[in-house]
Amino acid sequence: MIDLRSDTVTRPTEAMRAAMVRADVGDDVYGEDPTVRALEERVADLFGHEAALFTPTGSMANVLAVAAVVEPGQEVLCESRAHIVRAELGAHAAVSGLTMRTWISERGQVDMAMIRRLFAPDLGPFFVPTAAISVENSHNFAGGAVLPLADLLDLREFATEVGTAVHIDGARIWNAHIATGTPLREYGAIADVLAVCLSKGLGAPVGSLVVGSADAIAASRVRRKRLGGGMRQTGILAAAGLYALDHHLERLAEDHEHARLLAEACGADPATVETNIVVVDRPDAAQVVEKARAEGVLVSTVGATALRLVTHLDVSRDDVERAAAVLARC
Ligand SMILES: *Cc1c(COP(=O)(O)O)cnc(C)c1O
């Protein structure tokens, strides 16, 4: 089976497993795991922030990152198909007691006109105060679309001017970085808090990080423990993340090229494919999924009329060419 359902399906390589086996470990709840600390320091530095915190999942990283800047009873603004509002089972409401309002952008983009209209930090005693603006880069359900740096700079300027926080859901910020050449530090400078994943394109089996100020991360460490996310000899997992940063970052360019090949095979415009995700509109999406499966290619749907194909470390050029032929037939 060629599995194009998600970039989360990768299995750790032999070399990654070897790095995990060798990892120096300690009890991370006591702050004594040297490998976790090394990963946290490295990722904080990559984004030009003071500190970072390892979490088991990207969802937990987002919950902690948003809660670091938005209090219970406040709101965060985000795009209507953002992962934080669509795909985290309401965790920010259920766990953190905050609400969200959304703008709609086909490509998941920053829309400053809408953000200015929605933004309401202090409308009096009936209204939920806006405490943060969240953006997703690359944007998963908008087909891996990248947010242009110029738009992010406008957002930063606005946020600074009005004194609100910016959260970036950077689960796939690595892909945005490789696709555009924008330094990670420039993305880091846009945000007060970021969440980044190691278990998507980078191919680690587990792990995400919250990135931000020393204070935000200290508060996140407490909340992580409260959620049951205080882990012990996590260096085993952090070692996979360090290995992925060393060996799996630059190669994301291949995934992006593979995604364009698949888009072409599906009759989609490859120019709309900016990273490793292809979304194709098909009224019969569910049937295409079944036909492709019968021919050994797994794809998924996002909504009733859209197919999603995701390229990753475990699909080779050969696999992509075979999948392209199958998808062209389907
Ligand atoms: C995958 C993903 C996450 C985190 O998901 P987990 O499955 O909880 O690790 C967060 N944001 C985006 C945009 C994602 O694609």
CATH number at residue 269: 3.90.1150.10
Q: What token pair was written down for 273?
A: 């494919």
Is there a contact between 178 and 253 (Cβ–Cβ < 8 Å)? yes
Q: How far apart are CA 115 and CA 121, in angstroms?
A: 12
Query: Does 256 lie in the same domain as 198?
Result: no
pLDDT score recorded for residue 297: 98
How far are the Cα atoms of 10, 217, 305 from residue 211, in angstroms, in the given order?
24, 7, 36
Whole-angstrom Cα Rg for the chain: 20
Q: Whose CA is nearest to atom 9 of ligand 1?
A: 58
Report which residue type is found at 146.
V
- Of 6, 83, 209, best ligand 1 pocket probe by most atoms within 8 Å of the beta carbon: 83
Q: How far apart are CA 109 and CA 115, in angstroms?
A: 11
Q: How far apart are CA 195 and CA 75, in angstroms?
A: 18
**Ligand 1 center from residue 131 Cα (angstroms):** 22
Query: Does 191 lie in the same domain as 220?
Result: yes
Q: Is residue 48 part of a domain?
A: yes
Query: Does 227 lie in the same domain as 323?
Result: no
Domain boundary among 247, 265, 297: 247
Quote the longest CA-to-CA distance of the chain.
61
Q: Is 40 in the pocket of ligand 1 (CB under 6 A)?
A: no
Q: Is residue 83 part of a domain?
A: yes
Closest approach atom of ligand 1 to CA 138: 13
Q: Is residue 4 part of a domain?
A: no
Total structural domains in the chain? 2
Query: Does 301 lie in the same domain as 319?
Result: yes
Please choose, from the candidates 70, 288, 86, the residue with its C-alpha nearest in 3D space to the C-alpha of residue 171: 86
Cβ atoms within 10 Å, residue 139:
27
Q: Is residue 263 part of a domain?
A: yes
pLDDT in tens, the chain (330 residues): 999 999 999 999 999 999 999 999 999 999 999 999 999 999 999 999 999 999 999 999 999 999 999 999 999 999 999 999 999 999 999 999 999 999 999 999 999 999 999 999 999 999 999 999 999 999 999 999 999 999 999 999 999 999 999 999 999 999 999 999 999 999 999 999 999 999 999 999 999 999 999 999 999 999 999 999 999 999 999 999 999 999 999 999 999 999 999 999 998 888 899 999 999 999 999 999 999 999 999 999 988 899 999 999 999 999 999 999 999 999
Domain boundary among 203, 230, 247: 247
Q: Is 145 in the pocket of ligand 1 (CB under 6 A)?
A: no
Is there a contact between 262 and 270 (Cβ–Cβ < 8 Å)? no
Domain boundary among 189, 219, 247: 247
Q: How far apart are CA 82 and CA 80, in angstroms?
A: 6
**Segments forming the whole domain that contains residue 300:** 251-329
3-class secondary-structure state, position 47: coil
Q: How far apart are CA 198 and CA 203, in angstroms?
A: 7
Is there a contact between 321 and 315 (Cβ–Cβ < 8 Å)? no
Tell me the β-bridge partners of 279: 308
Is there a contact between 158 and 151 (Cβ–Cβ < 8 Å)? no
Q: Is residue 5 part of a domain?
A: no
Query: Does 26 lie in the same domain as 67?
Result: yes
Q: Is residue 163 part of a domain?
A: yes
Query: Does 113 lie in the same domain as 134?
Result: yes
Q: Is 62 in the pocket of ligand 1 (CB under 6 A)?
A: yes
pLDDT score recorded for residue 209: 98
pLDDT score recorded for residue 270: 87
Query: Does 306 lie in the same domain as 266?
Result: yes
CATH of residue 189's domain is 3.40.640.10
Alpha helices for the chain (secondary structure H): 14-22, 34-46, 58-67, 83-86, 91-94, 112-118, 149-162, 173-180, 184-190, 214-226, 235-247, 252-265, 285-294, 317-329
